[in-house]
Amino acid sequence: MEREMLFYTYGMCTMFYAMMAWFFWRRGTDTLSRLVMVLMVIVSVSLIKDLFFLNNEISGKDWNWILMTSMDMVAEPLYAFILIELCRPGHLTYKTMALHEAPFVLLPGLLWATHIEVFYDILVVWSAVYGLYYAVWALMTIPKYHMMLRERFSYDENINLNWLSTILGSFFIILTLWVVDSLIVNIYLECVYLIGAMIIWMFILSFIYRHESVISELAVAEAPSNEPVRDVNSETDEMGIRIEHLMLVQRAYLIPTLKISDVARQIGSNRTYVSNWFNHSRQATFFSYVNHLRIKHACELLNTTDMPPKAIAQESGFNSRSSFYRIFKNLKSCTPNEYRDNPEKYDNA
């Protein structure tokens, strides 16, 4: 019965990862999709490889099992690569990836050539440290990434990483199970690890599949500009007047996918100056400034029309109803319906 359960678990996981590899192969040629596809292929091949050994008696001291497990660890840097590409898109290079992979190739090679099991123990410890480091690194980098997005985007649907912050906690559990499973082979523990990892990957891959690339906007932001950054403290600065005309008169804030590069292009300036103007002249990020205008517009519609909140969200430039409710609640300390019932109370708060 235990063997049947293990075979069933391996088969189910193999089918899942193979299917995900196909999905991400079809998704596109961007770096993130290709990294996920390669990882899913490696995991699938690793599971298929393991199936050939399941008929044998499983033992943590078995040489074949130790060698197989050490070979499987070559996939771990790909987890880090995906985190890096999510948190710092466009920064990965082939040299960086080769350096990360080197210990995970060298140590199994030494283990296979010498049959000295201490190389396996070193590899397991290094894998645990490596995984823990990048989990902590991601938790520290995500807030910086979100701040960068708020400087350049007026929306955060499908580009923020709030979901990753939540799921990273589960990675600690999976990492612990994996380390224990590598050192103490047990059929039930193996099944728990495989199923747990698959469930977490279901959530992660669903978010990654919807995740939109921000590399083009970051490239615009990081490109050197020949235009000098002017004094942004003057309220009568010509560029500042153009920005306010675009935002307040032409009401560009109603464009759901408005980016700071769009504003810079419309007024004939560069992104750096526009960003500085929002930060210094308005003491707000681009995201905050635009969404304040959107909520103000929404409040006018709530006061003067009978439109439902969902329609008002669209009319006010929001990509989704959930974002509208979240930002409205943050700025007005009430829901749209509560505001409509008593606007004076919340306008004077």
pTM passes above 0.85: no
Mean pLDDT for 184-195 is: 79
CA nearest neighbour of 183 among 121, 141, 135: 121
Cβ atoms of 167 and 204 within 8 Å: the answer is yes
User: How far apart, in whole angstroms, are the C-alpha atoms of residue 42 and residue 83?
Assistant: 17
- Predicted confidence at residue 57, as pLDDT, reads 54
Cβ atoms of 60 and 105 within 8 Å: the answer is no
Q: Provide the pLDDT confidence category of residue 54 given band limits of 50, 70 and 90.
A: low
Residue whose structure tokens are 């430039």: 317
User: How far apart, in whole angstroms, are the C-alpha atoms of residue 98 and residue 207?
Assistant: 27
Architecture of domain 232-347: Orthogonal Bundle (1.10)
pLDDT tens digits for range 288-342: 999 999 999 999 999 999 999 999 999 999 988 999 999 999 999 999 999 998 8
First to last CA, the chain: 65
pLDDT at 190 over 60: yes
Tell me the two tokens of residue 270.
Answer: 């560069």
- Phi then psi dihedrals of residue 268, to 5 deg: 75, 35
Domain boundaries, the chain: 2-217, 232-347
- Predicted confidence at residue 300, as pLDDT, reads 94
pLDDT tens digits for range 192-251: 888 888 988 898 899 999 898 888 777 655 544 444 444 445 444 788 889 999 999 999
- Predicted confidence at residue 24, as pLDDT, reads 95
The tally of CA atoms less than 13 A away on the side-chain side of residue 64 is: 11
CATH of 2-217, picked from 2.60.40, 1.10.3470, 1.10.10, 1.20.1070, is 1.20.1070
